[in-house]
Amino acid sequence: MSCLGIQNIIRENIIPLIEEYCYGDYALISKILGEGIVDVKNQTIRFELFNTSNIAGLITALLSPCPTIREVGKVAEDDEIEEETEIEKVNESDSGDKI
């Protein structure tokens, strides 16, 4: 799925469902989506985040309510690299023992 596809799904499907679920309470919507996406004062969604091909601003806004997600992702990547290194070491030692 492309970045544009993800932007469209969030803008067209997810945000309207959350708005409906929260009965238009933008303070509550902000707790779910974060202040990077919701302008509580003006009671609007910051749709300008969706009107660009640069998805970095949208991703940052989406992750702002839970900044540890990036850290968990980083730890998971580090663990995968470490695990791959261990597997390579085992494979190298096994390949030398075969006749």
Residue 10 is inside which H or E element, if any? none
Q: What contacts 45, CB < 8 A, 6 or more positions away?
A: 15, 19, 29, 33, 37, 38, 39
How far is it, in rounded angstroms, from Cα 57 to Cα 50? 9
Structural domain containing residue 12: 1-65
Are both 59 and 75 inside the same structural domain?
Answer: no
30 in the same domain as 60: yes
Nearest to 7 by CA among 53, 73, 45: 53
* pLDDT of res. 37: 93
Whole-model pTM?
0.63
> How many domains does the chain divide into?
2
pLDDT tens sequence across 4-61: 888 999 999 999 999 999 999 999 999 999 899 999 999 999 999 888 877 888 888 8
CA angle 53, 12, 29 (to 5 degrees): 100
